[in-house]
Amino acid sequence: MAILVARQHPRGATLTDQAIQSFYHAAKRTVEAAGFGFEGEWQRGVLGQDFLERDLLREAAWVILCSGFNERVVRRRFDAISLCFCDWCSAEYIVSRGDRCRSTAMAVFGNSRKITAILRTCDYVYEQGFSSLCSRIQSDPIQELGKLPFIGPVTSYHLAKNLGIDVVKRDRHLVRLAAYLGFDAPEEMCVAFGHQVGEPVSVVDIVLWRYCALSSLAALQTADRVRARTIEAS
């Protein structure tokens, strides 16, 4: 994989190695000051680790619920939703109590389409068998995760990242930031940043995503400042 360490911005400014480092460290400081530093540590901790059946069910449910919804709303209700689904103990157990899981979950998160998608995911994992499915996911994560209900070409990357696979999710925040900084795609941006700051791309992803989620305006203003210093130095 080619490593990009400088990129021509559409407006004509070049992001130097120093500019990339400056932007990332500013983003990380802001994220940590806002109380979200644990996210990067969590991502680093799951990277490359084996995942269990309950991990797959939990993270699939998280991605399903967050798709098109405010992450803060989902976060506030997710513990209660997890209890409705037997704390993700196993797909078989949840399937055997599907009606009860549905009724209690609907009282917590009243979106029938998403609750149905979670139950269908449990059905799918149970029918496929976790061991077999896990092996296929490890061999071809994006392709296999994309077969889960409600998981598509974009959310498959989000789910893969949450399961410890070192990929970048194609979230709207990251797409916009990458374009603003002059990269062709979020993957290219995170590879460049990761190379400069010594972090896996999945960790860079979550830091930059949270920075933009906290304030897209602040992220763009920081980008303008580091670009301005680049221009002055050139």
In a domain, 1, yes or no: no
pLDDT in tens, 165-214: 999 998 889 999 998 888 999 999 999 999 999 999 999 999 999 999 98
**Does 15 share its domain with 72?**
no
In a domain, 211, yes or no: yes
Give me the number of domains the chain comprises.
2
State the CATH number of the domain containing residue 110.
1.10.340
pLDDT at 229: 65
> Which of the two residues, 90 and 154, has the higher pLDDT score?
90
pLDDT in tens, 2-31: 333 334 444 434 678 888 999 999 999 999
Q: Among 126, 141, 162, which residue terminates a domain?
A: 162
In a domain, 154, yes or no: yes
pLDDT at 231: 56
- Full 3-state SS string of the chain: CCCCCCEECCCCCEECHHHHHHHHHHHHHHHHHCCCHHHHHHHHHHCCCCCCHHHHHHHHHHHHHHCCCCHHHHHHHHHHHHHHCHHHCCHHHHHHCHHHHHHHHHHHCCCHHHHHHHHHHHHHHHHHCHHHHHHHHHHCHHHHHCCCCCCCCCHHHHHHHHCCCCCCCCCHHHHHHHHHHCCCCHHHHHHHHHHHHCCCHHHHHHHHHHHHHHCHHHHHHHHHHHHHHHHHHC
pLDDT in tens, 49-69: 999 999 999 999 999 999 988
**Does 96 share its domain with 68?**
yes
**Does 40 share its domain with 87?**
no
Residue 131: pLDDT band with limits 50, 70, 90? very high
Contacts of residue 6, defined as CB under 8 A and 6 or more positions apart, other chains included, come to 14, 15, 16, 17
**Does 58 share its domain with 138?**
yes
Q: What are phi and psi of 162, to 5 degrees?
A: -70, -20
**Does 180 share its domain with 214?**
yes
**Does 113 share its domain with 179?**
no
Q: Among 108, 141, 162, which residue terminates a domain?
A: 162
Residue 224: pLDDT band with limits 50, 70, 90? confident
In a domain, 208, yes or no: yes
* pLDDT above 90: percentage of residues in the chain: 75
Cα–Cα dist 116/106, whole Å: 10
Q: Determine the structural domain holding residue 156 and report its residue range.
A: 53-162
